[in-house]
Structure 1
Amino acid sequence: MVVLSKPNTEKYTYVRNSKPAPIFLSNIPLVDLSKPDAKSLIVKACEDFGFFKVVNHGVPMDAITRLEYEAANFFSLPLHEKHKAGPANPFGYGNKHIGRNGDTGWVEYLLLNTNQDFNSLKLSPVSENNPEKFRSALNEYITAVRKMAREILDLMAEGLNIQPKNVFSRLVTDKQSDSVFRLNHYPPCPELAMNGVKEDPTENKIGFGEHTDPQIIALLRSNNTSGLQISLRDGTWVSVPPDQSSFFVNVGDSLQVMTNGRFKSVKHRVLANQFKSRLSMIYFAGPPLNQKIAPLPSLILTGKESLYKEFTWFEYKTSAYGTRLADNRLCHFERIAAS
């Protein structure tokens, strides 16, 4: 049994639920990548939610289980051993601090550049395993998830009736793609006592604060522990039932721009779980740093204008990482101010 360590305790953010029991999203858009209607379902899901669940995704369960096992072993190490992976600046091991601007959460993580040589990643031996097994598991998993990302983005282009078919996926498969991979560990968060009285049961500690992803899409897989929430178009927060055999896909800010707002990046967050550890693995599909991001001409409707100024991914990434998690990162690049 792997017992995972806890991040250091300091001041954390709480959110108050409208109801003590979470509202679970029962109508999550489901896309079976093996079915002919996958492309149309993807488009509708991106328009309505900016979020969907994928099955028959082609990522071997052995690869998923293997990496999850290695990641759990890594996070079970003493803190000083985990720090040997390198400080999160931005890549490496991080604990509690999210980004550079004061955001904190009940989380520890390992952030990796998918173009790096994982052999250079400094990992200590973990129980009966060795660092080579962790690196091998990372390579196998990321290769499979990158392939799924390419398939989803190609289906998206087909569903939008735009050419070339790889207009989105070529940005991810480019050798200079700035895609990153993140392993998040949320330890169990038992109720704290204050003067002998338990905290308000309608309050939850934030594991990872509300935000949108700046990249094109993000592919998320987690263990069978709840905590993920998304914000609906009306601002209601709903919990996403965990599903350890499927993947969840988020529309990112860059895709919102490229579709001229037809697709909306989804705002999401993670709440700490009182009893169970949560482990999530996220592949953020990003373009090369010098790639220009702008609405595709074919997606600007007749009589309409581009809603966004053109910018490079490097410019947007730099701007986004200079903000707080919950900030509207696209507002500086909008041509027309939001009403």
Structure 2
Amino acid sequence: MAPSFNDENSLFNFVVKDGNGVKGLVDSGLTEVPGRYIQPPHQRINKQQAATALPENMAIDLSELDGPNHDQVVKAIAHAAETLGFFQVVNHGVPLKLLDSLKVSAHQFFSQPAEKKAAYLKAVSPSPIVKYGTSFVPEVEKALEWKDYISMVYTNDSDALEFWPNECKEVALEYIKTSKEMVKRLLQELIGNLEVNLDDSRLESLMGLRMVNMNFYPTCPNPELTVGVGRHSDMGTLTVLLQDGIGGLYVKKGENSSSGNEEWIEIPPIDGALVINIGDSLQIVSNGRYKSAEHRVRTTSSASRVSVPIFNLPLPVAKIGPLPELVARDGVARYRELLFQEYMNNFFGNAHEGKKSLDFAAIN
């Protein structure tokens, strides 16, 4: 018989503080979603009302960057960055076998007993570069997200091999290392498209902090009442995301914030592809030319889903602000210059709320 979680404190302690996570709730035999997970109606995801972005229009072949179609490929990447903020890439240089191993490793990590995962809770983790948790910032959220995660910050190979969980450390490290050149190339092409030249050290400072997450979305008895991840944009420069075959990732089309006119597009999984999305830092650096993508994740009752993002972020000590050449050309700076650490502190201090995180840097 499933335990009762009518008391919000007992639910919070079980899921968050004790590290059982959403998976612990599901494993307990839960047949309906506890009230703390029920989203207000305007935050719920109506699958029927979302458009599906056709795969053939979304997958960009990165191998063609080195051929005669280079300019057309850059144009496609830039167009996606200026509009939806999301695109998918194939022939990206990350081995397909590794992508399969990542999904298997994610399931292996989350299928462990709760006490094994709880060893990485923030308060007891052997290192600040590894954190296991649930939802986003559960202490400040009115409604919790139906998601557990393990987050691993990359400092160097030896730290990763020593502190990251055994179930996933080798494949996660390989994922970060094999994707680095792709991320650098995409950033070079996007900055070049703005007709600005950045030297390698400046480029590196925009992607010098890398963090890989493994996200786990357990089956949900009432998916229509919940979200896996609430609407938000990522804080970094570029995010590389591996989806499994289940789907459930939605991106908002355009920046119209009027809830009556919103259009959401489902990003369908494409076998062997990686999803790329623009983060807030690149929107700031490009003075608003490139758009960070507002996105969210639906839950499902049919199967547990995993996703594995790499967040490529500026170094915490890096200053982020509109590139001076763009400010001179545009005649206005739309964002102030600030340390990325300040932006990051603000981002993690608030619940997900669309692209509100950008207001922290915006010049009104």
Query: Which TM-score bucket, shorter chain as reference?
Result: 0.7 to 0.9
> Residues 134 and 147 of structure 2 are in contact (CA less than 8 Å); yes or no, is this contact kept in structure 1?
yes
Unaligned runs of 5+ in 2: 1-20, 26-32, 65-69, 257-261
- One-letter amino acid of the structure 1 residue matched with residue 301 of structure 2: Q
How far has the Cα of 1:254 moved from its partner?
A: 0.6
Q: What's 1:295 paired with?
A: 322
Q: What's 2:174 paired with?
A: 140
Q: Per-residue CA shift, 1:147-186, capped at 9, x if unaligned? A: 221121112122222213647632256xxx2221111011
For the structure 1 residues 268 and 7, does the alpha-carbon distance in structure 2 shift closer, same or farther, using more than 3 Å as the test? farther
Unaligned runs of 5+ in 1: 124-130, 193-202
Q: What's 1:32 paired with?
A: 61
- Tell me, yes or no, if structure 1 residue 70 matches structure 2 residue 105: yes
> Residues 5 and 78 of structure 1 are in contact (CA less than 8 Å); yes or no, is this contact kept in structure 2?
no
Q: What's 2:5 paired with?
A: none
Distance, in Å, in 2 between the alignment partners of 1:303 and 1:152 is 23
- One-letter amino acid of the structure 2 residue matched with residue 93 of structure 1: Y
Which deviates further from its counterpart, 325-334 or 280-289? 325-334
For 1:198-237, list aligned pairs within 5 A: 203-233=224-254, 234=256, 235-237=262-264
Distance, in Å, in 2 between the alignment partners of 1:166 and 1:122 is 29
Pairwise CA RMSD of aligned residues? 2.5
How far has the Cα of 1:323 moved from its partner?
A: 1.7
Secondary structure in 1 matching 2:133 = strand
Q: What's 1:199 paired with?
A: none
- One-letter amino acid of the structure 1 residue matched with residue 38 of structure 2: T
For the structure 1 residues 260 and 155, does the alpha-carbon distance in structure 2 shift closer, same or farther, using more than 3 Å as the test? same
- One-letter amino acid of the structure 1 residue matched with residue 149 of structure 2: Y
For the structure 1 residues 19 and 210, does the alpha-carbon distance in structure 2 shift closer, same or farther, using more than 3 Å as the test? closer
Q: TM-score scaled by structure 2?
A: 0.78
Which deviates further from its counterpart, 103-112 or 88-97? 88-97
For 1:182-261, list aligned pairs within 5 A: 182-191=213-222, 203-233=224-254, 234=256, 235-261=262-288
- Tell me, yes or no, if structure 1 residue 121 matches structure 2 residue 163: yes
Q: Per-residue CA shift, 1:55-100, capped at 9, x if unaligned? A: 1100001221222212211111111111123438874111345464
Residues matched between the structures, number: 312
- Tell me, yes or no, if structure 1 residue 268 matches structure 2 residue 308: no
Q: What's 1:329 paired with?
A: 357
How far has the Cα of 1:19 moved from its partner?
A: 6.6
Distance, in Å, in 1 between the alignment partners of 2:58 and 2:154 is 28
> Residues 154 and 165 of structure 1 are in contact (CA less than 8 Å); yes or no, is this contact kept in structure 2?
no
How far has the Cα of 1:220 moved from its partner?
A: 0.6
For the structure 1 residues 122 and 24, does the alpha-carbon distance in structure 2 shift closer, same or farther, using more than 3 Å as the test? closer
Which structure features the higher share of helix residues?
2
How far has the Cα of 1:53 moved from its partner?
A: 0.9
> Residues 93 and 182 of structure 2 are in contact (CA less than 8 Å); yes or no, is this contact kept in structure 1?
yes
Distance, in Å, in 2 between the alignment partners of 1:242 and 1:86 is 31
Distance, in Å, in 2 between the alignment partners of 1:168 and 1:45 is 23
Which deviates further from its counterpart, 315-324 or 17-26? 17-26
Distance, in Å, in 1 between the alignment partners of 2:175 and 2:226 is 30
How far has the Cα of 1:268 moved from its partner?
A: 0.3
Q: What's 1:107 paired with?
A: 147
> Residues 188 and 274 of structure 1 are in contact (CA less than 8 Å); yes or no, is this contact kept in structure 2?
yes
Q: Per-residue CA shift, 1:248-304, capped at 9, x if unaligned? A: 111111100100000111100001012022110000101111101010122235362
In structure 2, which of residues 76, 95, 104 is the aligned counterpart of residue 41 of structure 1? 76
For the structure 1 residues 42 and 49, does the alpha-carbon distance in structure 2 shift closer, same or farther, using more than 3 Å as the test? same
Distance, in Å, in 1 between the alignment partners of 2:318 and 2:216 is 32
In structure 1, which of residues 87, 93, 104 is the aligned counterpart of residue 132 of structure 2? 93
- One-letter amino acid of the structure 1 residue matched with residue 198 of structure 2: P
For the structure 1 residues 167 and 48, does the alpha-carbon distance in structure 2 shift closer, same or farther, using more than 3 Å as the test? farther
- One-letter amino acid of the structure 1 residue matched with residue 282 of structure 2: L
**Identity percentage of aligned residues:** 28
Distance, in Å, in 2 between the alignment partners of 1:249 and 1:58 is 14
- One-letter amino acid of the structure 1 residue matched with residue 264 of structure 2: W
Distance, in Å, in 1 between the alignment partners of 2:73 and 2:291 is 19
For the structure 1 residues 122 and 283, does the alpha-carbon distance in structure 2 shift closer, same or farther, using more than 3 Å as the test? closer
Which deviates further from its counterpart, 29-38 or 107-116? 29-38
Which structure features the higher share of strand residues?
1
How far has the Cα of 1:38 moved from its partner?
A: 2.2
In structure 2, which of residues 307, 313, 332 is the aligned counterpart of residue 305 of structure 1? 332
Distance, in Å, in 2 between the alignment partners of 1:113 and 1:33 is 26
